[in-house]
């Protein structure tokens, strides 16, 4: 059961959180770094994309 959680459920939760964050970046409710800060304003969206990519890699592992 523990292997199922780490292989399937946790990456799925990470993907869902990342997609919700990317699709709703201007809500302000869950905005981590304000977008109006120069140069660093979009780093949180980049982090969400990296979260999605790393979780998708977990699904490919056997």
Give tens-digit pLDDT for 12-58: 999 999 998 888 766 656 677 777 788 787 888 889 899 999 999 98
The answer to whether the beta carbons of residues 46 and 36 sit under 8 Å apart is no
Q: What's the confidence (pLDDT) of residue 26?
A: 64
Give the chain's domain count. Answer: 1
Q: What's the confidence (pLDDT) of residue 50?
A: 96
- Full domain range(s) for residue 12: 2-60
The answer to whether the beta carbons of residues 33 and 41 sit under 8 Å apart is yes
Q: What's the confidence (pLDDT) of residue 57?
A: 93
Please state the three-class secondary structure of 8-57 as a single string.
HHHHHHHHHHHHHHHHCCCCCCCCCCCCCCCCCCCHHHHHHHHHHHHHHH
Residue 60: CA count within 13 A, CB half-sphere: 6
Q: What's the confidence (pLDDT) of residue 38?
A: 81
pLDDT 10s digits, 1-24: 677 777 788 899 999 999 988 887
């Amino acid at each position: 059961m523990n292997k199922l959680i780490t292989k399937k459920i946790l990456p799925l939760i990470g993907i869902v959180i990342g997609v919700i964050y990317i699709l709703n970046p201007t809500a302000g409710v869950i905005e981590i770094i304000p977008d109006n800060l120069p140069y660093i304003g979009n780093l949180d969206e980049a982090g969400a994309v990296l979260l999605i990519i790393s979780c998708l890699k977990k699904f490919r592992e056997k």
